[in-house]
Amino acid sequence: MLQSSAVYSYNDLHDREANRLHPVKKHRPLASGAVSPNQALIIAFFLLIATALFWLFLPSSKIFCLGFYFILQVAYSLGLKKVALLDVRLIALGFVLRL
- Res 48: pLDDT: 92
SS3 assignment, position 51: helix
- Res 59: pLDDT: 92
Instruction: Tell me the average pLDDT of the chain.
Output: 90
Run of H or E including 48: helix 37-55
Spell out the residues 6+ positions from residue 22 whose beta carbon is closer than 8 angstroms to its own: 31
Q: What is the pTM of this model?
A: 0.77
